Structure 1
């Protein structure tokens, strides 16, 4: 899936790897980086570059993004080439926990730590293949690849922010988006997640934010979303009959949720396993609904702002992550 409005970050001279915010003006030290979708000074570029590391051989990468970015502008090949100077999926929410399997092609992924200048700190996961030509693999020794990887801050497929809000997407069999509203910004199916992580502290705030944007699923699968917060609220958002539908639920797979009764939902094997999971350990529950193409399985702790992630179904190998609210 290559969404045309997938988000972007500014030029990196790095050394070392799948949404209400206005464009953010960079600070004004003398050595500001060239303007693009990323708004970074040279110092912020260097700090972002220094944070890039490879966590495992899926490959799974990690970075801490420093600086601002234009959360509304589309990500283009021209932006990614700027010189220096279907998803399947299973998601669930229960008090204090948000879990998801990302089931898709065997692509590299990245853990992204972000603290936007005017938004909430967040921890998110991105499929970084969408930042590169088809079939290309990131090379951390290449400056241009490191610069491209920084744009992962704009392409979250799931994530959690410092307020305990969590969001994840999944493919839906069908979606009919509302007609565009004149004057309303249009963003991609992943960029809306970045905007929610940056700007929303609760499920109601996230839903209200989504209503202020037109979404564009061109170039990729149709999507729906599970949103949850620290207070225990959750909702599924999907689009049908030309409107945005908000459904009271805490489980999400790849079935159409709008208009579906409980029996229809439970007829889906993965939905049923999630709904009947009871007190099953969260990662074990994700293991039960994993598919042959599950790329990552992550459990976000909405209370202590940590996460555990397993890549490529290597259940014995768990990475511990922590959201840092520091600059």
Structure 2
């Protein structure tokens, strides 16, 4: 395995440490980074917007980018429109074994699209890191190969990236991800006219910015109607470093809360609130079988190996969040021989 470590967003140093190329003894490439230097406004953009866009770095020809968002951003009440996609099949799990570190693993299985790792630190919320599918910001794969070479004014679509986290972790180690489930949102999503409505992805931004633990995340969910229009019905797996995990599902007009009953939790692409056994999903079976064997105790490398066992041809990224220490491991396109590692400084309550 090649392991590439990037602490924050601007590349300044690459050190090559050579060893073997196996999953057990990885070849490691360590890259240190520092924050972008604040700059002046230009091209009709504010100084913070310029700082944000100039922080963009291309790390991989997938392509895979990293960016640090400077300053505040707006919260869309209604989520962005989902592009039409054909197939999807995501896999998520948490490892919460006693005496071990807490990890959250996730495969994002979708059609080919550029990926962005986004660091945010809003003045009225918590710092976080999240993965964003750039096609959902209108940036097509064929237009994104040399995105860093474009003028700033042609990259302004990236300024909406905070509104579209597909998974992420905040400074308290609270981590959230989602996976599609079958069904019509009009049949399953509850609606209360006294509550505001938020998009199915936008709710994840609220969680990352304002929840320190699973209980606070659930309380935020309870404040909103969730709008799934334009995209699939999804369920959410949320975890915190205290060993709590909650799977949140919208089913037949109710919000169903499914806490972990073991020192681990798993979600794929079927309703767990009505499923029997593994629900007929081989990925769910593989994940739950392995986590049962180890009683919810894995290290980061073993968590990546487990994700590799359930990857699909359409796996766009695989990510492991270390909820205890703040490290984030990312593999692109099902290629687990190259793993990028980042760091988010955690605050422990």
TM-score range, shorter chain: 0.7 to 0.9
How many Å separate the matches in 2 of 1:122 and 1:216? 23
Residue 314 of structure 1 and its aligned partner are, at CA, apart by 1.2
How many Å separate the matches in 1 of 2:197 and 2:43? 26
Deviations 1:187-239 (A, max 9, x none): 11111111100010111110110111111111111101110001000011111
Deviations 1:10-41 (A, max 9, x none): xxxxxxxxxxxxxxxxxxxx97998xxxxxx8
- Asked if the contact 1:177/1:215 (under 8 Å) is kept, the reply is no
Residue 87 of structure 1 and its aligned partner are, at CA, apart by 3.5
Q: 1:44 to 1:313 in 2, by over 3 A?
A: same
1:94 corresponds to 2:95: yes
Q: 1:76 to 1:166 in 2, by over 3 A?
A: closer
Q: Which residue of the partner structure matches residue 170 of structure 1?
A: 179
Match of 2:270 among 255, 278, 285: 255
How many Å separate the matches in 2 of 1:325 and 1:204? 19
1:274 corresponds to 2:274: no
Q: Which residue of the partner structure matches residue 69 of structure 2?
A: 65
1:315 corresponds to 2:330: no
Residue 303 of structure 1 and its aligned partner are, at CA, apart by 0.7
Residues 189-228 of structure 1: matches in 2 within 5 Å? 189-228=200-239
Q: 4+ residue runs of structure 1 moved beyond 6 angstroms?
A: 30-34
Which of the two has greater strand per residue?
Answer: 2
Q: 1:233 to 1:33 in 2, by over 3 A?
A: farther
How many Å separate the matches in 1 of 2:209 and 2:190? 26
Q: Which one is further off, 294-303 or 251-260?
A: 251-260
Q: Which residue of the partner structure matches residue 240 of structure 2?
A: 229
- Asked if the contact 1:298/1:308 (under 8 Å) is kept, the reply is yes
3-state SS in 1 of match to 2:342: strand
3-state SS in 1 of match to 2:338: coil
How many Å separate the matches in 2 of 1:304 and 1:226? 20
Q: 1:167 to 1:75 in 2, by over 3 A?
A: closer
Q: 1:146 to 1:295 in 2, by over 3 A?
A: same
- Asked if the contact 2:249/2:257 (under 8 Å) is kept, the reply is yes
Q: Which residue of the partner structure matches residue 131 of structure 2?
A: 125
Q: 1:160 to 1:258 in 2, by over 3 A?
A: same
Q: 1:47 to 1:133 in 2, by over 3 A?
A: closer
1:301 corresponds to 2:322: yes
How many Å separate the matches in 2 of 1:256 and 1:235? 14
3-state SS in 1 of match to 2:155: helix
Residue 142 of structure 1 and its aligned partner are, at CA, apart by 3.6
How many Å separate the matches in 2 of 1:147 and 1:203? 33
1:112 corresponds to 2:118: yes
Residue 324 of structure 1 and its aligned partner are, at CA, apart by 4.5
TM-score, normalising length: structure 2: 0.75
RMSD: 2.4
TM-score, normalising length: structure 1: 0.80
Q: Which residue of the partner structure matches residue 313 of structure 2?
A: 292
3-state SS in 1 of match to 2:283: helix
Larger Rg: 2
Residues 142-161 of structure 1: matches in 2 within 5 Å? 142-161=151-170
Residue 313 of structure 1 and its aligned partner are, at CA, apart by 1.2
Deviations 1:66-123 (A, max 9, x none): 111221334669xxxxxxxx53200000121000000000000100000111111001
How many Å separate the matches in 2 of 1:118 and 1:189? 21
- Asked if the contact 2:78/2:227 (under 8 Å) is kept, the reply is no
How many Å separate the matches in 2 of 1:208 and 1:130? 27
Gaps (5+ residues) in structure 2?
1-39, 82-86, 97-101
